[in-house]
Amino acid sequence: MKLLMLVNAHSGLKNSKAKLLDVIDIFSAHGYSVNIYVTQRKNDAYDYLMKNRTNYDIVCVFGGDGTMNEVTNALMKKENKPLIGYFPSGTMNDFGSNFDLGTDFKDIAVRICMGNARNFDVGEFNGRYFNYVAAFGAMCDVPFTTKRDAKETLGNIAYILEGIGKLPDIKKHTIRYEINGREYKKDILFGLIYSGNRVAGMELESKKKSRIDDGLFNVLIVDYVPTFFDTPDILSVLLQSNRFIHRYHTDHMIMECDDDLVFTLDGEEAKVKNRVEIKINKEALRILA
For the chain, domain boundaries: 2-123, 128-280
Please give the CATH superfamily to which domain 2-123 belongs. Answer: Probable inorganic polyphosphate/atp-NAD kinase; domain 1 (3.40.50.10330)
CA distance 177 to 92: 29
Per-residue pLDDT of the chain (289 residues; tens, 9 = 90+): 999 999 998 876 556 677 899 999 999 999 999 999 999 999 999 999 999 988 999 999 999 999 999 999 999 999 999 999 999 987 777 899 889 998 899 999 999 999 999 999 999 999 999 999 998 887 665 544 444 543 443 344 333 333 334 444 677 889 999 999 999 999 988 889 999 877 777 677 666 667 899 999 999 898 887 665 555 555 455 555 667 889 999 999 999 987 778 888 998 888 887 899 999 999 999 999 9
Query: Are 121 and 284 contacting, i.e. CB atoms less than 8 angstroms apart?
Result: yes
pLDDT of residue 68: 95
pLDDT of residue 114: 97
Whole-Å CA distances, 191 to 199, 220, 236: 12, 6, 16
pLDDT of residue 271: 80
Domains 2-123 and 128-280 are alike in CATH topology: no
CATH class of 128-280: mainly beta
pLDDT of residue 225: 77
SS3 labels along the chain: CEEEEEECCCCCCHHHHHHHHHHHHHHHHCCCEEEEEECCCCCHHHHHHHHCCCCCCEEEEEECHHHHHHHHHHHCCCCCCCEEEEEECCCCCHHHHCCCCCCCHHHHHHHHHHCCEEEEEEEEECCEEECCEEEEECCCCHHHHCCHHHHHHHCHHHHHHHHHHHHHHCCCEEEEEEECCEEEEEEEEEEEEECCCEECCEECCCCCCCCCCCCCEEEEEEECCCCHHHCCCHHHHHHCCCCCEEEEEECEEEEEECCCCCEEECCEEECCCCEEEEEEEEEEEEEEC
pLDDT of residue 157: 34
